[in-house]
Amino acid sequence: MRTRDDLAALAHDALRTLGVPDSALAEDGPVLRARSPLVDAELFSVRATAPEEVDDVVDAAHRAFLDWRLVPAPVRGRVVKRLGELLTEHKETLADLVTIEVGKIRSEALGEVQEMIDICDLAVGLSRQLYGRTMPSERPGHRLQEVWHPLGVVGVISAFNFPVAVWSWNTSVALVCGDPVVWKPSELAPLCALGCDALLRRAIAEEGAPDGIHQLLLGGRDVGNALVEHPQVALLSATGSTRMGREVGPKVAARFGRSLLELGGNNAVVVAPSANLDLAVSSIVFAAAGTAGQRCTSMRRLIVHESVADELVGRLEKAFASLPVGDPFEEGTLVGPLVNERAFTAMQEALEAVRIQGGEVLVGGERADVGADGYWARPALVRVPHQDGIVLQETFAPILYVLTYSDLDEALALHNGVSQGLSAGIFTSDQAEAERFLAPDGADTGIANVNSGTSGAEIGGAFGGEKETGGGRESGSDAWKGYMRRSTNTINWSGVVQLAQGVDFG
Ligand code: NAD
């Protein structure tokens, strides 16, 4: 395992390689302490933004907007194309920062950067496809059309667990849509943010785009709040806990801003009697224990048919017990550390609560000794008698609750019986059952899969969830429309006044 000094040196090198100026590091003034969960220690400090600076930053982004909105979208796409090239060139380096700051295993950290490259590709294509429609007018000599225009400054607030990908989903799409971005990353991942900002600044300079189209605010909730309340932030895209969304959403609504909320999940998989259990076991283990249970799409509930419950749970117990927990830089490690002590405490409190509720921890849950400071936990598999109390909440740690069912209606009632609505899966070989799961009275989530787990979405689809997950959609499909304003135009070329609906006004 690397020491604190090794990690600090590696992080310094990575920042230099990515082009982050030395002036970003600071020991006094407003600072943020960059930390690593691999050693549970501070690495070094970076310059932070004071809340009172936010006004000027948003103002600079807004000035850039006035020019950027007039640059043709395919030309805007060139900045994103260049960003994708730079990310490809620096994939390993940025992945190092992701592992250092949030503890993702190597393969997942590289996957996160790959996701950034993929969304850049998608956004570049999109820059030539921001289609509006032409509708038949009811009046002769009239044309009715809609066009999509840039919206304004997009504020992005992101969570620690996808420290770079969520930024790229928002930023690549916002930029081709003609919107500048002001980013307030998680206070737990400032180094990742500095790396992304440096690469994008380079792409902006090389393509001759206005400087101000990307701005970084490093800080905590107070800085985030200044962005939330700023009247010039046209769209606030906020990713994080439901608690955060509950605070942020009403504030943006009160000033008639637009918000895109990507909040907590409590995702479940249903395993039916006809399921291929080999497929189910591997998919469930990745969904529940991958990223140490710290994905919004992590699987937190298993709803298994009583006829296959013993066999499946037995196999999962073995798989959980043999999961390699340890240094995320080491090949073969599948579970890295929890992000901090608070996460570990929340996990222990949840396990205690579930025991009081009559649940039984079948395997895992304890702190793993990996020969380093930091909070490594063994993923826990917990049988619960009912779905209530702590099972209804998102605990951001690797705990999988097991519930059983006897018919599909009961499984669906359990599945939908939580307040979050992000991601779902069913394992079945029965097509009718799979279709029912995807039907209007099936899973009530934004993402629903068949024979596939809850996590690991591709960027081509629109990503997001319902209920307390916030209702936002980002990434692929038509999510770009959230970053633009629609203008409906009527063009009268008939030379005479004709009112709609046959109204006669003399
Ligand atoms: P968090 O809510 O603690 O913080 C997220 C971000 O919001 C941080 O940048 C934080 O500084 C900021 N923030 C918090 N309160 C704020 C406030 N009142 N005003 C302005 N900004 C505020 O979340 P976290 O611990 O970083 O991340 C884990 C949570 O994020 C989980 O609930 C997870 O499910 C969720 N998440 C959701 C998605 C999704 O797409 N649905 C993706 C990733 C993470």
> Using one digit for the tens of pLDDT, what is the confidence trace for 444-460?
999 999 999 999 999 99
- The protein residue with its alpha carbon nearest to ligand 1, atom 8, reads 186
Query: CB of 91 within 8 A of CB of 164?
Result: no
pLDDT above 90: residue 401: yes
pLDDT above 90: residue 495: yes
Q: 69 is written with which tokens?
A: 């909105």
Using CA atoms, how far apart are residues 400 and 382, in angstroms rounded to an integer?
6
- Maximum pairwise Cα distance, the chain: 87
Alpha carbon of 264 to ligand 1 centroid (Å): 8
Q: What is the CATH number of the domain that holds 321?
A: 3.40.309.10
**Average of pLDDT values for 58-80?**
98
Which stretch of DSSP H or E encloses residue 492?
Answer: strand 484-492
Tell me the pLDDT band of 80, cut-offs 50, 70 and 90: very high
Considering its fold, how many domains does the chain have in total? 2
Same domain, 299 and 418: yes
Average pLDDT in the chain: 97
Give the DSSP per-residue string, 454-483. SS---TTSEE--EETT-S--EESTTGGGGG
Question: Domain for residue 493, yes or no?
Answer: no
Same domain, 279 and 248: no
| Residue 296 near ligand 1, beta carbon < 6 Å | yes
Same domain, 76 and 193: yes
Alpha carbon of 236 to ligand 1 centroid (Å): 13
pLDDT above 90: residue 27: no
Where are any strands of DSSP class E within 315-451?
A: 360-363, 380-383, 399-405, 420-421, 423-427, 447-450
pLDDT above 90: residue 424: yes
Indicate which residue of 112, 115, 187, 262 is catalytic.
262
Question: Domain for residue 370, yes or no?
Answer: yes
Q: 118 is written with which tokens?
A: 């993929």
**Which one of 416, 442, 458 terminates a domain?**
458
Question: Domain for residue 203, yes or no?
Answer: yes
Question: Domain for residue 390, yes or no?
Answer: yes
Q: CA geometry: angle at 422 spanning 455 and 95, to 5°?
A: 40
**Average of pLDDT values for 317-329?**
98
Using CA atoms, how far apart are residues 152 and 53, in angstroms rounded to an integer?
20
Indicate which residue of 101, 177, 296, 474 is catalytic.
296
Same domain, 228 and 353: no
Same domain, 256 and 319: no
Question: Domain for residue 468, yes or no?
Answer: no
Using CA atoms, how far apart are residues 37 and 341, in angstroms rounded to an integer?
9
Tell me the pLDDT band of 198, cut-offs 50, 70 and 90: very high
Question: Domain for residue 188, yes or no?
Answer: yes
Question: Domain for residue 36, yes or no?
Answer: yes
Q: 285 is written with which tokens?
A: 């283990």
Whether residue 192 lies in the annotated active site: no
For the beta carbon of residue 222, count every other beta carbon within 10 angstroms. 12
Q: What is the CATH number of the domain that holds 186?
A: 3.40.605.10
Full domain range(s) for residue 422: 267-458
pLDDT above 90: residue 506: no
Where are any strands of DSSP class E within 5-100?
A: 31-36, 41-47
pLDDT above 90: residue 28: no
Same domain, 231 and 349: no
**Which one of 233, 263, 293 terminates a domain?**
263
Tell me the pLDDT band of 228, cut-offs 50, 70 and 90: very high
Secondary structure (3-state) at 113: helix
Same domain, 244 and 154: yes
Tell me the pLDDT band of 381, cut-offs 50, 70 and 90: very high
pTM metric for this prediction: 0.98
Helices (H), 208-273: 221-228, 242-254
Same domain, 128 and 149: yes
What is the reported pLDDT for 29? 86
Same domain, 306 and 204: no
Same domain, 445 and 315: yes
Using CA atoms, how far apart are residues 93 and 89, in angstroms rounded to an integer?
9
**Dihedral of the alpha carbons of 393, 364, 4, 202, in degrees to the nearest 10:** -50
pLDDT above 90: residue 422: yes
Question: Domain for residue 498, yes or no?
Answer: no
Same domain, 48 and 155: yes
What is the reported pLDDT for 411? 98
**Which one of 247, 263, 279 terminates a domain?**
263
